Structure 1
Amino acid sequence: MQPNLSLALNLPPEGALRYFDSLNLPLPANAGEAIAQAAAKARSIAGIQQQEIVGDLFNSLRQSAAEGTPFATWRK
């Protein structure tokens, strides 16, 4: 039986998971590898985002210091 993606995409997440579980679809042979790759990409994206946030904070702090803004004021 082919999965009804239109139905699944209109269900809440828990319902979509139950729907796909009910189909008893076999996992592809490379499922473990695909999951590992997806996890690695997610960690990479999270790391890049953290670096951007730290960079933004550093630039903001540096600008405030150049303007003579006290740290306590900047921190708020």
Structure 2
Amino acid sequence: AVKRSHCFHKNGHDVDCQSSSNLFMIYFGVMEIFISQIPNFHKIWWLSYVAAGMSFSYSFIGLGLSIAKTV
């Protein structure tokens, strides 16, 4: 969504801006595989802070894109 929004701002809204999510899906899959290999998963207290930060970041990206679309 961010790449597509940037393309629209750069080239105008009449241009067909296509963006692929494949790279992000690959990164997410690699992170899942890495995290699943951690032996003492229940002792990683900082992981919930990372997850909360990622959740808030995603929410702010969505909020920013929706505000940019309405303005």
Length-normalised TM-score, structure 1: 0.40
- Structure having greater relative contact order (Cα 8 Å, sep ≥ 6): 2
The structure that has the greater radius of gyration is 1
